Structure 1
């Protein structure tokens, strides 16, 4: 059985279209969330980083090393909670409208 590192390397070799930035994020992401039950979307996390101006491998390394990635992930969780609340409110309104 392959180790996680070997699987990540194999996946990266199979996806040559990935930029070094996305490869590094993918590797870090797999290591960080290997045992988590609720894992953020890699693509959404990538987009959040891009929106914050983190768009190179070195900028990502710096972002992680200074501990700022935790704040980015927390913003991701907050955004998902907000989306969930809006969805529940939307569902509630639709059900309420039907009952009337």
Structure 2
């Protein structure tokens, strides 16, 4: 993608920052929590703590290319929703 500003910082700071041209999504990956899977297309499905368009940070599950300049559709979950999700999974002995 043209026009992406990308910044990778050491531990403790925002991991990746990017802003796309033409008013598309701006994001800051505040914390890379970890990979979930690696489909055969070379991308990685990840759980991250991310800020989209200067909003409140959310937990985010989606696929990313290797250098985080492109991403697929995903699901965002607020901190409160993550607590409920965790309780639901634990109450059903999912783990």
- Give the helix-richer structure, 1 or 2: 1
TM-score by length of 1: 0.27
TM-score by length of 2: 0.28
- Give the strand-richer structure, 1 or 2: 2
